[in-house]
Structure 1
Amino acid sequence: MTGYVHGYSEREALRLSEQAETLEKLLHHDTVYPPGAKILEAGCGIGAQTVILANNNPDTEITSIDISPESLEKARKNVEGKGIRNVKFLQADIFSLPFEDNSFDHIFVCFVLEHLQNPEEALKSLKKALKPGGTITIIEGDHGSCYFYPEGKKAIEAWNCLIRVQAHMKGNSLIGRQVYPILLEAGFRKVKVDPRMVYVDSSKPELVDGFILKTIIPMVEGVKKQALEMQMMKENDWEKGIKELHETAGPGGTFCYTFFKGRGIK
C-alpha cells in the first residue's frame, strides 16, 4: 500500500467530511442493501462515507476496516457522535484480511483503490471474504476527467501536480476509468460501471461551496509541500495556480469532474 497522498491533518479530515456530505445524493442514493445483510467497508478512513452507508442501511451489520489506527479512532468518534449503532470497527490490511472466506454478503469500497499500488490484488483479497452471489461496490474519481473555466495555465499545472505526486507515491488518481477492467480482472461477474458527473457553476451555490471551495481546492493544496520539494512548480507559480482555481468558483466560473461507480458479483 502507498502512503495517503492527502495526509492525515485535521483540515483533510474536514475536507473528507465536506466531500461526503456534498456528494451524498450523487454517489450514494442507490447504495442500499437488504435488511440483515453483512457488509464489509474496506478502507473506511475517518468514517465520512461510513456515516452515509450506515444511515442508508440502518438494518444491516457493517464492519468497517482501515489500516490506520488514527483514522479508525476518528471514524469511531464520527459514527458514535451521530448515534449510529450498526457499525463495528477493526484495524486490518486489505491485502491480509482477518476474516474467513465467504463472510460477507456485500463489500463497499470508496476512494481507496487510487491509493493502492496493486488494486487488482486488493480486490482479489476482498473477493475471498465475499459470499458467492454477493456484490462488491467500488467508487473512484478520475482526476483526468476534470476540466474547468477559466482555464488558467498555472491552475492546470497545480492540478497536474496532484496527479504527479500521487503517481510518485505509487497511487493512481486516474483509476476511475479503470474500474470496469479491474473488476473483471479480479474475477467479478456482471460488472457494470456508472459514471457520475459533477458540474458546478454559480447557479449552484451549494456545490460551489461544498465541492470547489471545500473539496477540490483543499485537495490540491494538500500536495503543495510535495510538489514544491519535487520542484514540480515554483512557489509563486503555485500560489498563482491556486488563485486561478478560486476563479472557477466565481460568477462566471465552471467546474466539472466525473466519478465512477462500479458493481460486480462474485
Structure 2
Amino acid sequence: MTGSETYSATFNENNQEFVIAGKLRPRSASEIKPLESALLQALSNVRGTLYLNVKRLGRINNVAFRMIAGLVTQMVNKRADLRIEVVTSSVLGWSTRKFLPLAERLPNVTVVEYDKEFYPGQSFLEEGGFIPILRNQTRMTWRHERLLLPRHGLTPGSSIADICCGIGDFAVLAHKEFKPSRLLALDHSRSSLDYARKVAADFGITDIEYVYGDAAEIMIDDNSFDFVTCRHSLQVFDRPELILRELYRICKPGGRVYITNEKNSHCLGEPRGETIQWTYTEVAKLWAHFNMDIEFGPKSGRHLIDAGFDDIRMDTFMVTNRDGNPQDFADMIQAWENVYAGEMARDRGDSPEFIARFRQGFQDHIYAALHPKGYAGWPIWAASGRKPT
C-alpha cells in the first residue's frame, strides 16, 4: 500500500480487542493478506466476545470491507459461541452505517458507538441550553485568562489547538490577542461548531480551522501544536485520562497543554450564604450522578502529572460580581439554574420539593450578585504542563 493509504492492525489478547486504524483502501484483497491472516487468527483463538475496534479507521473501501465482513460471517456461522462487537465512533459516522447491516444480518454481531456513553453530558450540550452559560462564562473568565495564558506558555505566533472548543468564543479571543500561526478548534457537538463558525464570522475571522471530532480519539498527527487548550471540559467526561492522553500526543515536545476546570461546591455568596452553599454542594452531586466531575479543578495538577507532563503550573482565580457588570454574573447563574435545576434535575428524577429548594440557592446567589453590598464568587483552576522533550 502507498504511504498515504497506510493502516495498522493490532490484537490485544488480554481484552480480546482487534484494533484497525488509519486508512484501508487496497486495490485488491492480496494487498491486505497480512491483515486477513491476523484477523482470522484472532477470530479463531477468541473465546466469548471479540471486540473489533474501528473507531480510528479513517477510511475503508469495499475491497477491505468485503474481506472483513466475509471473515466475520464465516466465523460466527461456524461457531455459535462466538460474539463480535464492532466498536465505532459517531465522529466517523460512515463506519456505523457500514457495519450495521452486518449486525442486522448476523445475530451474534453487534455495533456500538462507544462515544455515546463516553460523553454523558452531550445531550444537555446539544440542546443548546449551555450556549448562554458558555458565552457568559467566557466573557467573565477572559479578563483573568488573557493575563494568565502567557505565564502558562502561550506566546504570539504559537500554533494552538483548542480541544472541546464549544461555541468557539475562546478561540476567537485567543486569535485576536495572540495572533497564532495556526488555530484549530475541535468539538464533538455539531451544533456548537455551527455556532462557533458564526461567532468567528461575526468577528471577521476566517482562518480558524473548525473540526468535528472526538477528543478521546483526535484525528490529528502526533506533535502538531505548540499550545493545546481544553477548557472546562475534563470535568464533563467520565474518563478524562483518555482526553489528556490525546492532548499529550498532539502537543509538540517542549509545548504545553493548558486546562481549566471548576470546583462548583466552592461557589459562594453573601448574603444568604448558607442556601447558596447547599445548592452548589448539590450541583456537584447532580453532576456525579451523570458521571461528570464538576469538582475537578484542584485535581488538575495530579492528572497532568499522571498523563506524563512536567513543569506543572497551577493558578486559581475567583470570578466575581465585582469583576465587571454584576448583571453578567447574575445572567450566568440564571443559565446554570435553567439547566441544572431544569432538565438535569428532572432527568435524575428529583422531586418538586427538592427542585424548589435547589432553585432557591441559585436565586439567592443572584440576589448576592446584584445586592449593592453583596459578593458572589465562582472559582476556577487553571493548570498547564509541559510535554517533555
Q: Same fold (TM over 0.5)?
A: yes
- 1:78 is matched with 199
- 1:123 is matched with 244
- 1:220 is matched with 337
- 2:137 is matched with 19
Answering whether residue 179 of structure 2 is matched by residue 58 of structure 1, we say yes
Q: Is contact 1:180–1:193 with CA below 8 Å preserved after alignment?
A: yes
For residues 32-71 of structure 1, the aligned pairs below 5 Å read 32=150, 33-71=154-192
Report the RMSD for the aligned CA atoms in angstroms: 2.2
Indicate the structure (1 or 2) with the bigger Cα radius of gyration.
2
The letter of the residue matching 1:231 is: D
User: Following TM superposition, by how much is the alpha carbon of 1:5 offset from its aligned partner in structure 2, in angstroms?
Assistant: 7.5
Report SS of the residue matched to 1:44.
coil
Task: Give the one of 366, 375, 378 matched to 1:246.
Answer: 366
Report SS of the residue matched to 1:54.
helix
* Partners of 1:66 and 1:257 in 2: CA distance: 25
- 2:349 is matched with 230
* Partners of 2:320 and 2:241 in 1: CA distance: 30
Residues 71-124 of structure 1: CA deviation (Å, up to 9, x unaligned): 111111111111113311000111111111111111011111110111122101
- 1:209 is matched with 327
Q: Is contact 1:5–1:223 with CA below 8 Å preserved after alignment?
A: no
Report SS of the residue matched to 1:7.
helix
For residues 107-256 of structure 1, the aligned pairs below 5 Å read 107-151=228-272, 153-200=274-321, 204=322, 206-211=324-329, 213-225=330-342, 226-228=344-346, 229-231=348-350, 234=353, 235-249=355-369, 250-256=371-377
Change in 2 beyond 3 A, CA 1:19/1:55: same
Q: Is contact 1:27–1:196 with CA below 8 Å preserved after alignment?
A: no
Q: Is contact 2:301–2:314 with CA below 8 Å preserved after alignment?
A: yes
User: Following TM superposition, by how much is the alpha carbon of 1:207 offset from its aligned partner in structure 2, in angstroms?
Assistant: 4.2
- 1:265 is matched with 386
User: Following TM superposition, by how much is the alpha carbon of 1:35 offset from its aligned partner in structure 2, in angstroms?
Assistant: 4.2
Report SS of the residue matched to 2:148.
coil
Q: Is contact 1:22–1:207 with CA below 8 Å preserved after alignment?
A: no
Change in 2 beyond 3 A, CA 1:9/1:207: farther
User: Following TM superposition, by how much is the alpha carbon of 1:140 offset from its aligned partner in structure 2, in angstroms?
Assistant: 1.3
* Partners of 1:232 and 1:107 in 2: CA distance: 42
Query: TM-score, with normalisation over the residues of structure 2?
Result: 0.62
Q: Is contact 2:161–2:183 with CA below 8 Å preserved after alignment?
A: yes
Residues 35-72 of structure 1: CA deviation (Å, up to 9, x unaligned): 44221110001112112111112242100000111111
* Partners of 1:125 and 1:239 in 2: CA distance: 38
Q: Is contact 2:121–2:290 with CA below 8 Å preserved after alignment?
A: yes
* Partners of 2:132 and 2:156 in 1: CA distance: 31
* Partners of 1:174 and 1:111 in 2: CA distance: 11
Change in 2 beyond 3 A, CA 1:240/1:97: closer
* Partners of 1:191 and 1:97 in 2: CA distance: 23
Q: Which runs of 5+ in 2 are unaligned?
A: 1-117
* Partners of 1:232 and 1:158 in 2: CA distance: 15
- Higher RCO structure (Cα 8 Å, ≥6 apart): 1
Query: TM-score, with normalisation over the residues of structure 1?
Result: 0.89
Q: Which runs of 5+ in 1 are unaligned?
A: none
- 2:4 is matched with none
* Partners of 2:180 and 2:245 in 1: CA distance: 28
Number of residue equivalences: 262
